[in-house]
A and B are shown apart, each in its own frame.
Chain A
Amino acid sequence: MKLEQTETLSILFNYILSMFEKNRRLGAHLSIMFSSAAFSGFRKLIFGISHRADISELNLPKTCAILFPNGKDDLMNFEVTIRPDEGYYLGGIFVFSFKVPPIYPHEAPKVKCKTKVYHPNIDLEGNVCLNILREDWKPVLNINTIIFGLSHLFTQPNHEDPLNHDAAAVLGDNPKMFESNVRRAMAGGYVGQTFFPRCM
């Protein structure tokens, strides 16, 4: 293998030089390296900073509320409640849990719907089919975008990207029946074989 030697940054070169100026030999320079660093001041780990900044700039739609079950210092885990003000799901209350990874925004948060819902794009285990949560996540997106996306799912459920196959088929074939199924599920009742607890 050819280990190409490109020009070293001059500052790096000076750094190594200066060590040798001060300490001629390696032993001395290494012991300096760890003795004086031992009690330095700025020895603080920072994690999740960009996420916390994100949270402090949240601008939620009026139908959404955010809750931090673990208090003000754990912002990596939180819940968002959506109360749609139009469409099939008007009057319902839907809770989503968010789990933010340490390398956010390089990776998207994990989002699950905690409320059992009859919805073409949310399955009965709470998995959500929203492109920006998985295949289309980009580090320029943020928590706000996701919350808007989720809230959009309730005003514009989409039968073309189904996770709940049955619900999607009904929405596609018979919107009237879909509407009555949604009402029945939200009020607490059976749709087919599946029971949905009340969420209004």
Chain B
Amino acid sequence: MADAAALVSSRWRDLDKLLLRPGNLVGQNFEPGPELRDDLQEYAKVLVVGAGGLGCELLKDLALSGFRNLDVIDMDRIEVSNLNRQFLFRLQDVGKPKAEVAAKRVMERVTSVNIVPHFCRIEDKDLEFYNDFNIIALGLDSIEARSYINSVACSFLEYDSEDNPCEDTIKPMVDGGTEGFKGHARVILPGITPCFECTIWLFPPQVKFPLCTLAETPRTAAHCIEYAHLIKWDEVHSGKAFDPDDSEHMQWVYAEAVKRADLFGIPGVTYSLTQGVVKNIIPAIASTNAIISAACALETLKIATGCSKTLSNYLTYNGLEGLHTKVTEFVKDKDCLVCGPGVLLELDTSITLQEFITLLEEHPKLLLSKASVLHRKKNLYMQAPPILEEMTRSNLSLPLFDLIGQVSKDVVHVNGMTNKNGKKTSSLRKLRVIFKGIDGVSDMDTAGGA
């Protein structure tokens, strides 16, 4: 039995090196000790978004790093082509939800970790679900999904009256991404480091071939595939939408692409290339996923325990020719519509939308004329086009307080014209409106229903 005790103590040997000993890179108040490990295991709750190439690695890494309360969310089912790198899955798992199988496999191998799977779209979960986690780790392959999770995490962020982020509303994110032999890992602390939206330009736009090239002068295998996918499909299946996840659809596109390639004498059309081009997939490399996930798991551990300063704030990895890594410190966009503080406005509950628009014109920090006002998914007032102006005009005489659902405070976006050095430019701003004399507690009911 002494052996068993030795096994338990040796199990966390590596973690303990980080948590039990003082160091030079830690904060001065970092108090190493076994309690820290206990707390990590008891309290830290991490959500892993995505159970694919990165997600499998992340779950395993986090579980082995001492995290015990993990959730994983993924809407996909396992495909045969995943098996070469998504190492938690076996042939008999094909067709099963990734999140469920991944959670089960890691729990089988790592004792005492609890992983709750969520087989659904990220949009299906409400904000309370996301708010329950201390850290969100992202193993995703799409800009859209990252952008969505980013806006969720940033939506918890509040600023004080001096526009400083309130620490206890910061929802840290660790984001990993890979494309072939290249990858990145980054730490996003909304309000402190740049959010995803601040630096969306980092993502290169998807390559899109001109349609007329596809139709007239194809030169590559990819051209033939995109012809079948974008032009031929519509011609033959009038009205029926192409579904990239339907293998029959994909087979059809592949067959058409082969015909096209034969016609023009172009080599190289294969089924896997067809999938790659249509779904915009760059072949995933297992080792890149492993390296990037390891970096992400380490950052997650650092944020949770404070055992080291975190990455500041963007690591790029390139294993294409030799090996190159670099950390770049990006700065946040102070006017970011998602994570920025916006302009704080204290208002009377009686102010009408029209009066509010006039106020924007006179406010020294804004000087915004001809403003359109947007609140969440609603257009409160649109200056143009005339059809929308007409549809929203009746709101002008209503109190803003009523229009945004009688909450004590909320974010409103406005856009209009500002004068910059004598030149009129259009400008889009985020505003934090607070209504005077409304108790902050009273918005709990309404905010919960958002």
Contact in complex: A165, B215 (CB < 8 Å): yes
Contact A106 B171 (CB under 8 A): no
Whether a CB of chain B sits under 8 angstroms from the CB of A32 is: yes
Q: Which of B37-45, B89-97, B102-110 contacts A (4 or more CB under 8 A)?
A: B37-45
Segment 129-154 of A: residues with Cβ below 8 Å from B: 129, 131, 134-135, 137, 139
Q: Is A57 touching B212 in the complex (CB atoms < 8 A)?
A: no
Interface residues of B in 119-149 (CB under 8 A from A): 127-128, 131-134, 143-144, 147-148
Q: Does A193 sit at the interface, judged by CB under 8 A?
A: no
A108 CB → nearest B CB, Å: 8
Q: How extensive is the interface on chain B, given as a class?
A: 35 or more
Using Cβ atoms and an 8 Å threshold, which residues of chain A touch B392?
A: 72
Q: Which of B36, B410, B415 contacts A26, CB < 8 Å?
A: B36
Q: Judge whether A49 and B447 touch: CB under 8 Å.
A: no
- CB pair A102–B147 under 8 Å, yes or no, is yes
Q: Which residues of A contact B170 (CB under 8 A)?
A: 15, 33
Interface residues of A in 81-110 (CB under 8 A from B): 101-103, 106-107
CB B408 to nearest CB in A, in angstroms, measures: 7
Judge whether B266 is part of the interface by a CB distance below 8 angstroms. Answer: no
Which B residues between 5 and 39 are near A, CB-CB below 8 angstroms? 25, 27-31, 35-36, 38-39
Question: Chain B contacts of A20 at CB under 8 A?
Answer: 27, 29-31, 306
Q: Which residues of B contact A192 (CB under 8 A)?
A: none
Chain A contact patch, size range = 35 or more
B304 touches A49 (CB 8 A): no
Q: Answer whether A46 and B411 are a contact pair too, CB < 8 Å, given A30-B44, A57-B426.
A: yes
A41 and B439 CA atoms in complex are apart in Å by: 12
CB nearest to B305 among chain A residues: A26
Answer whether residue B48 sits at the interface, using C-beta atoms and an 8 A cutoff.
no
Residues 369-403 of chain B: 1 if any A CB is under 8 Å from the residue's CB, otherwise 0? 00010101111001111011001100000000000
Number of A-B residue pairs, CB cutoff 8 Å, is: 265
Quick one: closest A residue to B189, CB to CB?
A12
**A4-B327, A12-B193, A37-B171 known; A43 vs B151 contact (CB < 8 Å):** no
Task: Name the residue on A nearest B307 (C-beta).
Answer: A26
| A38 contact set on B, CB distance < 8 A | 128, 131
Contact assessment for A53 and B309 in the assembled complex, using a CB-CB cutoff below 8 Å: no
- With CB as the reference atom, state the residue of chain A lying closest to B407: A41
State A73–B388 Cα separation when bound (angstroms).
10
Cα–Cα, bound, A1→B127 (Å) = 36
Please measure, in the bound complex, the distance between the C-alpha atom of A145 and the C-alpha atom of B169, giving whole angstroms.
Answer: 40
Q: Judging by beta carbons under 8 Å apart, are A162 and B212 in contact?
A: yes
Quick one: which of A30, A55, A73, A129 contacts B210, CB cutoff 8 A? A129
Cβ of B118 under 8 Å from chain A: no
A17 within 8 A of B: yes
Instruction: Convert B415-450 into 0s and 1s, putting 1 for each residue whose CB lies closer than 8 angstroms to a CB of A.
Output: 100000000001010001000000010011001101
> How does the 8 Å CB contact mask read for A1-45 relative to B, with 1 for contact and 0 for none?
111111111011101111111001111101111101111111111
Chain B residue numbers with a CB within 8 Å of A121 are 212
A6, A36, A107: the one contacting B206 at CB < 8 Å is: A107
Contact A73–B27 (Cβ < 8 Å):
no
B338 interface residue, CB < 8 Å from A? Answer: yes
Question: How far, in angstroms, from A73 to B403 measured CA to CA in the complex?
Answer: 14
Is B73 part of the contact surface with A, judged by Cβ < 8 Å? no
Whether A1 lies near B291 (C-beta < 8 A) is yes
CB of B72 closer than 8 Å to a CB of A: no
- Residues 229-247 of B at the A interface (beta carbon under 8 Å): 230-231, 234-235, 238
**Which residues from chain B contact A170 at a C-beta distance below 8 Å?**
none
Check A101 against B384 for contact (C-beta < 8 Å): no
Please indicate the chain A residues that have their CB under 8 angstroms from the CB of B201 in the complex.
Answer: 106, 139
Which of A1, A27, A46 has the most chain B CB atoms closer than 10 A to its own CB?
A: A46
B317 within 8 A of A: yes
State in angstroms the CA–CA spacing of A17 and B43 once bound together: 19
Point out the residue from A17, A43, A163 that lies within 8 Å of B447, measured CB to CB.
A43
User: Could you tell me which residues of chain B, from 272 to 298, have a CB within 8 Å of some CB in chain A?
Assistant: 291, 294-295, 298
**Chain A residues positioned under 8 Å from B42 (CB to CB):** 27
B259 at the interface (CB under 8 A from A): no
A12 touches B426 (CB 8 A): no
The answer on a CB contact under 8 Å between A43 and B155 is: yes
B192 touching A12 by the CB < 8 A rule? yes
Task: Establish whether residues B25 and A5, one from each chain, have CB atoms under 8 Å apart when the complex forms.
Answer: yes
- A177 close to chain B: CB less than 8 A: no
B215 is contacted by which of A36, A46, A139, A162 (Cβ under 8 Å)?
A162
- Residues of chain A within 8 A (CB-CB) of B365 are none
Q: Are B413 and A42 in contact (CB under 8 A)?
A: no
Contact of B409 with A by CB under 8 A: yes
**CB of B310 closer than 8 Å to a CB of A:** yes
Segment 151-185 of A: residues with Cβ below 8 Å from B: 161-163, 165
Using Cβ atoms and an 8 Å threshold, which residues of chain B touch A161?
210, 212
CB-CB < 8 A to B128: which residues of A? 38
Is B337 part of the binding interface, using a Cβ–Cβ cutoff of 8 Å? yes
Contact of B444 among A4, A8, A39 (CB under 8 A): A39
When C-beta atoms are compared, the residue in chain A nearest to B326 turns out to be: A4
Give the distance to chain A from B227, nearest Cβ to Cβ, in Å: 11
Verify A3–B210 contact, CB threshold 8 A. Answer: no
B167 engages A15 (CB within 8 Å): yes
Contact mask A49-73 → B, CB, 8 Å, 1/0? 1101101111110000111100111
Q: What is the CA–CA distance of A174 and B379 in the complex, to the nearest angstrom?
A: 50
Q: List 21 A-B contacts (CB under 8 A).
A: A4-B326, A6-B312, A19-B306, A26-B40, A27-B42, A30-B45, A38-B131, A42-B155, A43-B127, A43-B156, A47-B151, A47-B377, A53-B415, A56-B372, A57-B426, A72-B379, A75-B379, A106-B143, A123-B231, A127-B211, A135-B208
- Apart from A25-B31, A41-B407, A127-B230: 12 A-B pairs, beta carbons within 8 A: A1-B294, A5-B309, A5-B327, A6-B329, A11-B192, A19-B306, A26-B306, A27-B43, A39-B444, A46-B337, A66-B385, A102-B148
